[in-house]
Amino acid sequence: MKASSRAPRPVAIDQILFTQGFGTRRHCAGLIRHGLVSVEGRVIEDADEAFLTEGLVFEVEGRAWPFHEKALILLYKPAGYECSRKPSHHPSVFSLLPAPLRERDMQPVGRLDEDTTGLLLLTDDGPLQHKLTSPKYHVPKVYEATCKAPVDEAQLRQLMEGVLLEERDPRLAAEPVRAAQARMLPDGRLELTLTEGRYHQAKRMVAAVGNRVLALHRRAIGQLSLPTDLSSGGWLWLDDEGRRQALTAAEDEPAAG
Ligand code: URA
């Protein structure tokens, strides 16, 4: 084993800023030249000064930034925001994030409709994105739906047994979609746990059983729930524990063939 090739190597501070979304190398060097970057309270004057990135917290214009090789962000999505980077009618969820995070190549982990609220993950970690969104892994997403009419037992049963949805792809249209769980919450809302991510899936499933979703909120992905102390529009970094929680209920990818 080549131990030396695995040893973490210090990285120049302008390169660190660049990878963390603070603009071009030139812009990052400018931030340093203007005395706007510090590490552990010491202003960094040399753009080539190198640091180990593991656990590094640097400050830019007085704001602390923990280094993350790959970003995983939890956002409490408010209604009235689109998950696209190029929204058509409403502001983008990216406008809720600070500039360095907007600059990173993050994508929402499965889109929520403009009027859906709740837990949205964003990441630039491709394999994680795939694992959380691919129907193969069955990661459960828990939604709370306010429905137009009271949901009855027959509707709950139908949602769990499976409904057919109109799809352009005839193979998809022929495959019933089942809720992993459908039950009533004490406040009268419907809790729906879905393991696929078809377009408008929750709303279309509820419509397929003869009811209508008036408001939809995503409370959890896997074992990861929206923190109760995070307000609408707020965001936070997720660490390895958050990643583990989101993936906890994921099933291993079935073997090919
Ligand atoms: N299902 C929907 O219908 N809308 C969402 O935003 C998410 C799941």
* CA-proximal residue: ligand 1, atom 3 (nearest): 200
Residue to substitute in 82, 111, 116, 142 for testing ligand 1 pocket (most ligand atoms within 8 angstroms of CB): 116
Residue to substitute in 203, 204, 209, 211 for testing ligand 1 pocket (most ligand atoms within 8 angstroms of CB): 203
Q: Supply the CATH number for residue 90's domain.
A: 3.30.2350.10
Contact 120, 97 (CB under 8 A): no
226 in any annotated domain = yes
- Total count of domains within the chain: 2
pLDDT (tens place) for every residue of the chain, 257 residues total: 454 567 889 999 999 999 999 999 999 999 999 999 999 999 999 999 999 999 999 999 999 999 999 999 999 999 999 999 998 999 999 999 999 999 999 999 989 999 999 999 999 999 999 888 887 888 899 999 999 999 999 999 999 999 999 999 999 899 999 999 999 999 999 999 999 889 999 999 999 999 999 999 999 999 999 999 999 999 999 988 887 788 876 665 544 43
* CA-proximal residue: ligand 1, atom 7 (nearest): 112
Closest ligand 1 atom to 116 CA = 6
212 in any annotated domain = yes
Q: Which domain holds residue 20?
A: 11-66
Pairing of strands 37-39, 42-43: antiparallel
188 in any annotated domain = yes
257 in any annotated domain = no
Instruction: Say whether pTM exceeds 0.85.
Output: yes
> Ligand 1 centroid to 114 CA: how many Å?
9
159 in any annotated domain = yes
Say yes or no: 53 and 98 in one domain: no
Say yes or no: 142 and 123 in one domain: yes
Which residue, of 36, 66, 96, is where some domain finishes?
66
Q: For residue 109, which of 249, 247, 255 has the smallest C-alpha distance?
A: 247
Q: Tell me how crowded residue 147 is: count the other CB atoms within 10 A of its CB.
A: 19
Q: 141 has which bridge partners?
A: 194, 221
113 annotated active-site: yes
Q: Which of 46, 113, 115, 124 is catalytic?
A: 113
CB of 107 within 6 A of ligand 1: the answer is: no
151 in any annotated domain = yes
Distance between CA 75 and CA 231 in Å, rounded?
Answer: 10
Give the per-residue pLDDT at 240.
Answer: 80
Kindly state the tokens that stand for 128: 């994680």
2 in any annotated domain = no
Give the per-residue pLDDT at 253.
Answer: 53
Give the per-residue pLDDT at 100.
Answer: 95
5 in any annotated domain = no
Say yes or no: 171 and 119 in one domain: yes
> Ligand 1 centroid to 2 CA: how many Å?
48
Q: How far is CA 93 from CA 73, 77, 109, 204, 226, in A?
A: 12, 7, 12, 23, 16
Give the per-residue pLDDT at 252.
Answer: 56
Give the per-residue pLDDT at 132.
Answer: 87
Indicate the residue type of 185.
L
Q: Supply the CATH number for residue 24's domain.
A: 3.10.290.10
